[in-house]
Amino acid sequence: MSDALILYGYDYLFFVYGLAFVFIGAVAVAISRMPSDRAIFRSLALFAFTYGLMVWFEMSAWLLPKGISATLPVVLLEVLAFISLLHLLRSHGSLPLRLHVVFMAGIVGAAALIPRDVVALAPLLLGGAIIVSAFIVVRKIPGARKGSGPAYAMMILGALHFINEEAFLNIAHVPLQTIQVICSVYVLGYMWSLYQERLAATLGVSPGEVHSLSGRWVAPAIAMILLMGYAASNWVQGAEDESQRKSLLTGARIALGGIDYADVASLTGTPRDLTSAEYRRLKQKMITLRAADPSSRFVYLMAYKDGKVFFMVDSEPPSSEDYSPPGQVYPDASDDLTSMFSSGKALVEGPLPDDWGVWVSALTPLKDPETGKVIAVLGTDIDAANWIRDISEHRQFFIAITTVLLILIISIFVHQHRSEISHIRVSASEQRLRKLFDVTYDALVLHDLDGNISNVNGTMLELFGLTREQALRLKLADLFVPESIDRPLNSLLRGAMDGADPVFEGQARRPQDGGVLDVMVAVRSFSDDASDAILTCIHDITKRKQAEAAKSSFLANVSHEIRTPMNAVIGMSDLLLDTKLTREQAEYANVVRASGEHLLFLINDLLDFSKIEAGGMKLDEMEFDLFHLLEETIDLLALQSHKKGIPLVSVIHPETPVMVKGDPGRLRQILLNLGTNAVKFTERGEITITVEPVVTAPMAVAARAQKLLFTVTDTGIGIPEERTDELFTPFSQADAHTRSLYGGWGLGLSIAKRLTEMMGGRIGARRRPEGGSVFWFDAALPKSESALADVFDSTDLAGKRVLIVDSHPVRRRNLESALAQVEVEFDTCEDISRAVDFSSKTGKEPYHAILVDTEAVDEQSHNLIHRLRSSFSGRQTRLIAMVMLGESVDPRTLEAAGYSTWITRPVKRAQLYNALGADDPERKYEDEIGGAEQVAAPHLRLLLVEDNKTNQLVAVRHLEKLGYEVEVADNGPDALDALATREFSAVLLDCQMPGMDGFEVSEAVRDPGSRVLNHQIPIIAMTAHSADDYLDKCLAAGMNDFVSKPIDKQLLPRTLEKWIGAVFDRADLMERLDDDMSLAAQVIEVFISDFRERMALLTEAVKSGDCDTARREAHTIRGAAGNAGAKSVHLLAERFEKACGDPTLSSDDLSHLACEMESQFILFTESSAVTIKSADENERNLSAEAV
């Protein structure tokens, strides 16, 4: 800065300019603390600070002692500012790192190579950088007001670096700093508004709110302080100036005293004076004066003549460049100087810059003592540097004071600003929370322990249709339907206070219109030190409930749609099973049927799941045959596993009860689920299913709630230990990969879990260390109280000896336990060769049978079978093969191998006992189950009326084994309903039933006024009483016959045959016709077609009283009925024939008999229909074969 500028007070402009940049820096720092553009504003702040400091340094250069240059720090600051600008460009992303490095290197290089020029170069470089940065960065800083204004201001600032300030001042008469100050203040204003804007965004409040902060005083305050500082510094400058001038003038006057007036008067003011002694004396005087004051530069005398001021004497030697010879005109003479010659007033001129520097001239008039006329002026030119420094020192003292004041003001402002911002922050977050409270989807209610509502949110008001005032008058209990909540509200609230955090579902009530909403409610303690408060969150789940309802109805529909064809599959396989099938076909058909049922179960899974979810699942509580269920289930699983080539073995602990109480369907479901999973996830090894009683509880408890433990062990892929819990949560499988590999919907295990829990058990899984996993569950399946009449002929087996040949230890154990249960003695061995040893060594009585696992027999040991066989020849030892279920069996091969018969594996107890008990040596491979047994009583439907479930089960089992179709009625009224709607061949009637007993039922059936379709239907009583006591009573009640309980297996079929076989004696017919099906069908068909005609004639004859014709027709019918096996018709015809000759009988009696004959005929047509149908099929097959 040029010295002279200080004299004009321009240093103050510098101060303001620098201050503006320091402020810009401060604001940039504040902005850089906000989330966006941090790096840019940090660089900007650095630049602004360094730039401001640089300006201030330049300003303060005056204060430095002489000889110390401010150039170096200024240049350093300039370079720093430059670098920060580069950094700014880089942070903005417009300057790549590589270019950045090149720039830096260039600067350092330039500084090293041409050090002198850097001083001049630095401001220019900086100016250029400012322009570029402003162009690239500032213009694009996002903000409400466009950044282009400030960018241009910055560009102007940059451009000013290229302009010589003095030249500018001379031309524009305005100091350059004015423009700088205006521009920088403009930029500062922009930055401030940018800050406010971003602050508002950060706080999440409107910009207006930030604008309205109480910091508005600060700008005027700063302006005021600046003005005051300016005034003060100007005032001190004036004062200093005055005193400086005074002391100069004093000095000048003293010097003037030493000058001889006469000498001066003698000078002419022309070069002629050079030679005069006076001139020389005066010259000497001037030189002396100048030498006396080191700061004085020139001492001279000037005179005025003809309007011109000219030099008379000066202190310079003639050799000096600055030497002014006498008479030389002083061209720069000011008006003050000129007028001095007339006014005679001393003055200090300056400081004036001229060609030699800045000078202060003390001008004192030398007056003619007589006239007082000014004849010359003594001038002393003094270097103004010190003078200016003195002034500057005084000014800058005030500037410093101003700065201190500003700092004070700013500190106050910053403090205030900060506290206000934090206030805004708090209130904004409070507002947001309040808003959150209001807009959240949950209705929130704040209340005390008594339910007095103290605050609610907007959602609550909306949900319940209340105004705030209304809501605050209510109690919490007013909002709910009390019955819909399973616990009293009070206890829930107390629970919440104790930290229980209860959550429940229920129904809320809108107090105004009584509308009901499904809600989910969470109650939380909201207490603080001051008060006990509870926050209740009410979540509207009405829509969800509706959706759930829609979902379940959808599921119900879908499952219904799927069930319809499934029923066809199952029904048809049922029918298939009624036809003549080979054992193999029957096994397969059984599996089809069982699988169809399983598929239904799967479909039910979906329903079950939603049912369980809705809490609508109820378990059955009935007595059932656990063994039968297990064998059936294991059969299904064995078939699956066998297909994969994995053996499946089951071990049922001997103490496992046969008859238990529980839900067989659900138990089967769980077992099937675990078993199917095991099969699914096992590729090699084997699967073991075990069932055993849990022996933990004391005996008394165990008898009541007996628990059974079921485990399914596999050698499959296993499950990670930490995921075992996850397995039982819905829709999750071990991992996505497994899912894609094995399919499935992941519902099974979660259903199994819920089901076991409902059965009073637990379910779990663990990893087996040797690979694979163990799934287990236990369930309370108490042993049934009522003893089951044994379905199997086990008594025959007791004491018999059996040899087991099975390679698999678990299967062996299983067989052993099955045999032990019926008291069969047994020996076991692993393979057939040992068996031979066994049989030859043993000295005991021969084995009744030898059970041979076909897996234990290979090609080589086939001859061993023969040896085995031959070693027992002549004795009654039977070889029974155990063949894997689903394996195709060639009976001839087995027969050739010496086996008497075969059973399927996994071994079912019933099958095993039957095979062992079958003494009939003829019962071999050609046995046609189904065919042989079931067609014997083709589709005769019986109605079983029995209230006891176990008895029902037993009777049904027996009857079904005999090939009857059984419908069960639990009580008398149900039975009458069934008889009123459907045809049955006979009724098996329990005499003791609660409510309507058997006798009443029978009477109702026989009553012609009842709705029953067939009043003559055979009724067979079932009672635990002995026949002697009861038979009469039964017959009196209209019953036909009587069987005692427990049911006698021999007697029951005979009794039934007596009454039911009476309709269609198929066995007799087939025997007579030598099993010629087509002939039988033909015979039946002819009888049926003929009967109606004959019957019409007979009825006609009865009406007309034509006994002979009637008898003849009855005779014909009798014969035909006899031929066709229509036993009851035959007998009735016979009775009719006799009745015709009996004069005691009226025609009414005859027509009654005729009616009965007709109804029996109808029964016959139904019974014989199957025979005709199967004959037709046979025919078709034959003709197809023939073709």
Partner 1 sequence: MRTLVIEDDFTCRLILQSFVNSRGQVDVAATGGEGVVTFERALQKGKNYDLILLDLGLPGLDGHSVLSKIRELEEAAGTPDARRAKVVITTSHSDRRHVERALELCDAYLVKPLSKRQVHDQLISLGLIEAPGAM
DSSP labels, 746-764: S-HHHHHHHHHHHTT--EE
Question: How far is 1181 from 1177, CA to CA, in rounded Å?
Answer: 6
Segment near partner 1 (CB under 8 A), from 136-144, 211-219, 984-992, 1083-1091?
A: 1083-1091
Question: Which of 1115, 1131, 1151, 1165 is the binder for partner 1 (CB under 8 A)?
Answer: 1115
Neighbours of 882 (CB within 10 A): 26
Asked if 254 interacts with partner 1 (CB under 8 A), we say: no
Burial 343-367 (b: 16+ CB within 10 A, else e): ebebbbbbbbeeeeebbbbbbbbbe
Among 158-166, 424-432, 863-871, 1115-1123, which window interacts with partner 1 (CB under 8 A)? 1115-1123
Site string for partner 1, 1027-1066 (x = CB under 8 A): ----------------------------------------
Q: Which is nearer to partner 1, 619 or 1073 (CB)?
A: 1073
- Asked if 364 and 377 count as a contact pair (C-beta separation under 8 A), the reply is yes
**Of residues 723 and 1072, the one with the C-beta less far from partner 1:** 1072
d(C-alpha 178, C-alpha 641), whole Å: 99
Q: Is 1128 in the site for partner 1 (CB under 8 A)?
A: no
CA angle 138, 141, 142 (to 5 degrees): 155
**Smallest distance from the beta carbon of 873 to partner 1, in angstroms?**
24
Which two tokens mark 1? 């800065």
Question: Is residue 433 involved in binding partner 1 (CB under 8 A)?
Answer: no
Q: Which helix (H) or strand (E) holds 517?
A: strand 516-525
Q: Does 1120 bind partner 1 (CB under 8 A)?
A: yes
Of positions 1087, 1136, 1161, 1164, contacts partner 1 by CB under 8 A: 1087
Among 412, 516, 1079, 1107, binds partner 1 (CB under 8 A): 1079
- Laid out side by side, the sheet with 801-805 consists of 825-829, 801-805, 849-853, 878-884, 901-905
C-beta of 333 vs 1172, nearer to partner 1 = 1172
Q: Is 1071 in the site for partner 1 (CB under 8 A)?
A: yes
Among 510, 767, 869, 1072, binds partner 1 (CB under 8 A): 1072
- The 10 Å Cβ neighbour count of residue 522 is 15
Q: Output the DSSP codes for 1116-1176.
A: HHHHHHHHHT-HHHHHHHHHHHHHHT-TTS-HHHHHHHHHHHHHHHHHHHHHHHHHHHHHH
> Does the protein bind partner 1 through residue 483 (CB under 8 A)?
no
Rounded to whole angstroms, what are the CA distances from 678 to 631, 688, 716, 746, 772? 17, 9, 7, 14, 9
x/- mask, partner 1, residues 202-241, rule CB under 8 A, reads: ----------------------------------------
Binders in 990-1029 for partner 1, by CB under 8 A: none
Task: Kindly tell me which of 507 and 1082 has the beta carbon lying closer to partner 1.
Answer: 1082
- Nearest Cα to 803, choosing from 844, 860, 862, 859? 844
CB-nearer residue toward partner 1: 494 or 1112:
1112
1176 lines the binding site for partner 1 (CB under 8 A): no
Of 319 and 1089, nearer to partner 1 (C-beta) is: 1089
Among the candidate windows 150-158, 574-582, 871-879, 1085-1093, which touches partner 1 by CB under 8 A? 1085-1093
Q: Which residues contact 1171 (CB under 8 A, 6 or more apart)?
A: 935, 938, 1066, 1077, 1080, 1081, 1084
Residue 1124 as a binder of partner 1 (CB under 8 A): the answer is: yes
Nearer to partner 1, 770 or 1074 (CB): 1074
Task: Single out the residue of 914, 1123, 1151, 1178 in contact with partner 1 (rule: CB under 8 A).
Answer: 1123
Q: Tell me how far, at minimum, the Cβ of 1127 lies from partner 1, in Å.
A: 10
Q: Shortest distance, CB of residue 1117 to partner 1, whole angstroms? A: 10
545 binds partner 1 (CB under 8 A): no
Are 925 and 891 contacting, i.e. CB atoms less than 8 angstroms apart?
Answer: yes
Show the binding pattern over residues 517-536: x = contacts partner 1 (CB under 8 A), - = does not.
--------------------
Contact 352, 280 (CB under 8 A): no
Give the distance from CA 270 to its chain's centroid: 112
How far apart CA 192 and CA 150 sit, in angstroms, is 12
Interface segment toward partner 1; rule CB under 8 A; list 88-96, 771-779, 803-811, 1079-1087: 1079-1087
Scan for tokens 């819909």, then name that residue. 484
- Please tell me whether residue 1086 binds partner 1 under the rule CB under 8 A: yes
At 157, is the secondary structure helix, strand, or coil? Answer: helix
606 to 625: interface string for partner 1, x by CB under 8 A: --------------------
Q: Are 97 and 53 in contact (CB under 8 A)?
A: no
Q: Is the peptide bond before 994 cis (omega within 30 degrees of 0)?
A: no
Instruction: Please tell me the chain's helix, strand, coil percentages from 3-state DSSP, rounded to the nearest 5.
Output: 60, 15, 25
Query: Are 1001 and 976 a contacting pair, CB within 8 Å?
Result: yes
Taking the least distance from each CB to partner 1, the nearer of 525 and 1116 is 1116
Helix (H, G, I), strand (E, B) or coil at 1052: helix
Minimum distance, C-beta of residue 1165 to partner 1, in the bound complex (Å): 15
**Residue of the chain from 80, 1083, 1153, 1170 that contacts partner 1 (CB under 8 A):** 1083
Helical (H) or strand (E) element with 244: helix 218-257
Compute the least distance from the CB of residue 1168 to partner 1, in Å.
13
Q: How far is the CB of 1059 from partner 1 (least distance, A)?
A: 20
Q: Which amino acid is at 1078?
A: S
C-beta closer to partner 1: residue 1134 or 1149: 1134
Is residue 1161 a contact residue for partner 1 (CB under 8 A)?
no
Shortest Cβ distance from residue 1073 to partner 1 (Å)? 6
Name residue 89's amino acid. L
Residue range at the interface with partner 1 (CB under 8 A); choices 529-537, 642-650, 696-704, 1069-1077? 1069-1077
- Looking only at the bridges linking them, the beta strands covering 308-314 and 296-305 are antiparallel
Which is nearer to partner 1, 858 or 1068 (by Cβ)? 1068
Task: Tell me the C-alpha distance between 1173 and 917, whole Å.
Answer: 34
**DSSP 8-state symbol, 787:** P
Helix axes 972-981, 998-1006, angle to 10 degrees: 30
1082 makes contact with partner 1 (CB under 8 A): yes
Q: Tell me if 1131 contacts partner 1 by CB under 8 A.
A: no
Does the footprint of partner 1 cover residue 1116 (CB under 8 A)?
A: yes
Counting contacts by CB under 8 A, is residue 266 touching partner 1? no
- Structural element, H or E, at residue 530: none
Nearer to partner 1, 125 or 1121 (CB): 1121
CB of 1086 to partner 1, least distance (A): 5
Least separation in angstroms between CB 1116 and partner 1: 7
Note whether 1076 binds partner 1 by CB under 8 A: yes
Asked whether position 1090 contacts partner 1 by CB under 8 A, the answer is: yes
Residue (241 or 1137) nearer to partner 1, CB: 1137
Helix residue ranges, H only, 645-796: 664-680, 699-704, 724-727, 736-742, 748-758
Number of residues that bind partner 1 (CB under 8 A): 21
Distance from C-alpha of 875 to C-alpha of 1131, rounded to nearest angstrom: 48
Footprint of partner 1 on this chain (CB under 8 A)?
A: 1068, 1071-1074, 1076, 1079, 1082-1083, 1086-1087, 1090, 1115-1116, 1118-1120, 1122-1125
